[in-house]
Structure formats: C-alpha cells, structure tokens
Amino acid sequence: MKGVESMSEEILRNDEPTLAGNFIHDAIDKDLEEGVYSRVQTRFPPEPNGYLHIGHAKAITIDFETAKKYGGTCNLRFDDTNPTKEEVEYVDSIMEDIKWLGFQWNNVYYASDYFDFIFECAVKLIKKGKAFVCELTPEQMREYRGTLKQGGKESPYRNRSIEENLDLFMRMKNGEFPDGSMVLRAKIDMSSPNLNMRDPIIYRIMRATHHRTGDKWCIYPMYDFAHPLSDACENVTHSLCTLEFEDHRPLYDWFVNELIDGEKPRQIEFARLNLNYCLTSKRKCLKLVNDSYVSGWDDPRMATLCGMRRRGYPAAAVRTFVEKIGVAKANSVIDYALLESCVRDNLNFNAERAMAVLRPLKVVIDNYPEGKTEEIFVDINPNKPELGKRRLVFSRNIYIEQDDFMEEPIKKYFRLFPNNEVRLKGAYFVKCVGFDKDENGNITCVHCTYDETTKGGDSPDGRKVKGTLHWVSADDCIKAEVRLYDRLFSNENPSDESGGEYTVNLNPNSLEVLENCLIEGGLKDTKVGDTFQFLRQGYFCVDKDSTDDKIVFNRTVALKDSFVKQTKA
C-alpha cells in the first residue's frame, strides 16, 4: 500500500484543533464534576460487514477526539455478532482506514472475545427470572409485538419455569434444536411504549462459521444484548453512537443495570452524518460492489474512506470536514460541496503543480528552430518555495488543449485563434498564424510564431495578452490516462426508492475516461497516491491501476465548485 503511506506523511495530529466544545463534552464534564466517572474511555465499534464510509469518519473522530480531550483511552472494538455477514477482509480494511484517517486505538477487541461472558450473562438473567426461551414463529412474534399505538401481547412461553428455561437454553447452545426454532428473550414489558423493551430477543440459534470463533457456537447474541455488555467488559465510560440508537438506550441501561455491578457505561447519541448524493450504508454499498455498478469498495466514486483515499482526498481534509460539520443532536443533510471545498483547500496548499493536456491538439511554433530544446524552471508549489523549481522543456512541437483553440472565436474567448496572441505558461507569447485540417474538417495542427523576447511569460515592451494556456512539449511529455468523475448518483437523496430500487438513481455519466492525455515529462517517477494540481484543470492523484507503461490519474476535484447546488423552486 505505497499510496497510503505516501499520503499519511502529511498527517500532523497535534497542532490540529480538536472537536470544539459540544453537548457530548458538556455531558462528560458534568459526569466528571459530579463524580459519576473519574476517567473517560470510549470505543469505536464497527461491525466488520463492509468498508468504512464518510459517516464513520465522523463517529471515529468523535470517539477518538473525545478520549484524547480527557486524557482517556479509545479502543477499537469489532461488533462481530453476526457471522453470516462478517469477514476478515472487512476487519483488515477497517483498521487500515482508521490509521489512514490519522487515529490510533489503544487496544483492539472483538465482541466475540466476550461470547462466554455474554452467555453467562444470559444464564444470569434466566436465573433472575428475567429471560425465557420462546418458540413463537417470527410471524407470531411480530404479531404479538404490537405497534407504536398498541401494546403487545405476552408470549405463551413467557412463564416457563427458571429450570425449564435453563435446560432449554443449554440445549440451544448444545445444538439440539434447528436454526430459528427458538430464541431467548429478555422478560421486560410487553406494554412498554418503547417497542425495544417488549421482551426483545437476546439470543438466536444460527449455525454459521464465525470468522474468529469458528464453529464453537451455534447460538449468537443479538447486537442490543452484546453491545452494552461488551462496553461494560472493557470498562467503557461513555458509549457514543448515532441517534438511531436513542430508543435503544432504555434497553442498554436495563441490561447494564441487571447484569453489571460497579461502574456502568453510559450511552450518548449524536446525529448521523448524511451527505447529499452519497450512499452511506454498508449494505447498499455492498450491493453496488456485488452487482458491479462500481469497480469495488475503493471505486473513487464511492463514499467509502478507501474510495476517497484512492480518489486523492487527503485524510487531513476529511478531518477538517468533520471538524466543520460539528457535533449536533439533530440529523441533517450536509452538502457534498463542503467536503469538496475542504479537499480543494488542502490540495491548493499542498499539491505540487504540473501541466497536463487532457485532450491534446498539436501546435507547431514555426519560427522555433527544429531540433532545439530549452529548459524552463518553474515553481513546484508556489505555496512552498522551499520545494524549489521543476524543470519544463520547451520545443518547436507542443500540445495544448483542444478547447484552447477556436477557428472562429466566440465572444469573450481569449485563448488561441487566428492572429491572437496568448501566453504559454512559464514560456513565451505565441501568436496563431494558421492551422491544418483533415479531410473531415477537424483541426489537426495549429501553427504559431513565438516572440523570443517574452521568455518566462512577460513582454519587455509591456504588451499584454489575455489568455494563458497550459501546454506540454512533444519532446518531453508522457502519455497518461485520466479518469474524470462526476457524482455517482444524480439524486440528492440516492436512497430514495420511489422510482424503484435506489440503483435507478445512479448517474450514467459518473465516469469519463480520457486515454490519450499528455503530461509533463517530469512526472514519470510519480507513485500511487501522489497528488498534483494540473494547471487550469483541478487536482489529480496517481491511481493504483498505473503501470510502467501508463500512469493513470484520478481527478480528485475540479478547481472550482462544479457541484452546483440544485435550487428548489
């Protein structure tokens, strides 16, 4: 992973701001003041069932920055209680993405490490008369559960004796019953207005090989049961999660109060990050990958962290973005343009400059001697003079952008057209004196003359030109492929399934591949992940598909905001 390393170098954690004061920190301050806790411990608890996305960057930042602010610890815990959906590939990618973002956990834990403890907790609940084995079918269970308006009905199995429940639960564990034939439920309150409290399932029978525990278990705890117990096992103080778990908090507290002695963890919820035009659901991202709508989890159009990394988004820009959106208690949708502006600001400062001609048009400088070349030295990055200069080569044959020439200029066109003079960036003034066409009327070559006195790009007689073009020399350029990306979805809310499946919202023009681009020769030794500002074009980074024969670039972001916000009537 050469690319990852090269991009992580600019990550300097300590001089960056931490998340400014927010309601979570206010709550923690109060807890510390009142002596509820004397320390702070958080965790980031992903389920290893997919790659992390930009929403997770928010959760990661909150979890790690909160611990850091209070001099506490933050662990990485894989909530791996659902073996049919989980894989080692996802575990590895999650670790890589967190590191890339610039965070380091204290310890790595797995909920599966606690399966014995969680099992014992279930036994304890049964012994307290607070859990029972239920044999209702899923349909019956749904029916008995009631609705938001209507209370539920108690299961006919609810009043089994403790002995019978213990016996059945052991036999569930020993594999005596088929998958799905029975479950263990907490005995709480079928009339609770909170549906989560209506005797929730805490264990199910599922013969599935777990990526860590193998075939040791044929029963697995439900997330709502495993999560608070895992937090407690690790001595987490503040269990920070997204708002959809707010209604689960009473259940979290119930389990912790019933089963944990001493200090108990506390759950605090914050708003999910939603970005317009982006899909941030692992399940839906997986479908895009499996059905080949994208090239993989790291397709540069994906809102995954590995996709953004491959596209050239610097980790620091993602952190700045999370900083800017802040920590709120209410859900909202953030404009993708904000993320892009963070990326652009970062790259404007950090990216080396280069010239690339994406759609080449040949130009011959008729009065420039054949065979002659000269070197020109220009800034690598005007923001970082310490980096020095890069070398360009000027010669008789060069290439410019097809767009930069018009046979008959439209109004306010200041680029090259017959008899007009423009500046070639860093080189000379050139004036168009003619052009060649092929039999189809396409322009194949433009002829210019250059003014020897304008070397460096200024005229000693004070003559001004209105256009400055980027160019590459035919004697010192290399071929490259450039991939231009547009947003993956054309619908602001891609999850919108009113038009059928959400895949109908895919933007058919989200990828344009330009195979015959020409870039300045100095770029021949770039490595995967290197980012550049291509003059007048935007920011680009070297893709992992590059070979010795051809460098492939991704357009990270255009120079200006092309992400026009749709205004509603």
Q: Which one, 163 or 244, has the nearer CB to Mg ion?
A: 244
Binding site for ligand ATP (CB under 6 A): 45-47, 55-56, 58-59, 241-242, 272-273, 280-282
CB nearer to ligand ATP: give 331 or 562: 331
Of Mg ion, ligand ATP, none, which one sits near residue 491, judging by CB under 5 to 8 A according to partner kind?
none
Nearer to Mg ion, 287 or 455 (CB): 287
The CB-of-268 to ligand ATP minimum distance in angstroms stands at 11
Q: How far is the CB of 241 from ligand ATP (least distance, A)?
A: 4
For residue 82, the minimal CB distance to ligand ATP (Å) is: 10
Give the residue from 70, 69, 87 showing the smallest Cα distance to 78: 87
Cα 101 from Cα 78, distance rounded (Å): 18
* Buried residues in 73-109 as b, exposed as e (16+ CB within 10 A): bbbbbbbbbbbeebeeebbebbbbbbebbbbebeeeb
Pick between residue 320 and residue 533 the one whose CB is nearest to ligand ATP. Answer: 320
Query: CB-wise, 54 or 358, nearer to ligand ATP?
Result: 54
523 contacts: CB under 8 Å, gap ≥ 6: 354, 478, 480, 532, 551
At residue 44's C-alpha, the angle toward residues 43 and 48, to 5°, is: 135
Residue pair 378/468 in contact by the 8 Å Cβ criterion: no
* Shortest distance (Å) from residue 31 CB to Mg ion: 26
Binds 3: which of Mg ion, ligand ATP, none (CB < 5-8 Å by kind)? none
45 binds, among Mg ion, ligand ATP, none (CB under 5 to 8 A by kind): ligand ATP
Give the pairing type, strands 373-379 and 443-451. Answer: unpaired
Within 10 angstroms of residue 41's Cβ, the number of other Cβ atoms is 21
CB of 340 to ligand ATP, least distance (A): 18
Whether the Cβ atoms of residue 232 and residue 256 lie closer than 8 Å to each other:
yes
Find the farthest-apart pair of alpha carbons in the chain and give their distance in angstroms, rounded.
102
Residues belonging to the active site:
47, 272, 282
Q: Which residues bind Mg ion (CB under 5 A)?
A: 47
d(CA 563, CA 557): 10
Q: Dihedral angle at the C-alpha atoms of 550, 554, 558, 563, nearest 10 degrees? A: 150
Which residue is closest to Mg ion by CB?
47
- The answer to whether the CB of 496 falls within 8 A of the CB of 505 is yes
CB of 47 to Mg ion, least distance (A): 5
Q: Which is nearer to Mg ion, 47 or 167 (CB)?
A: 47
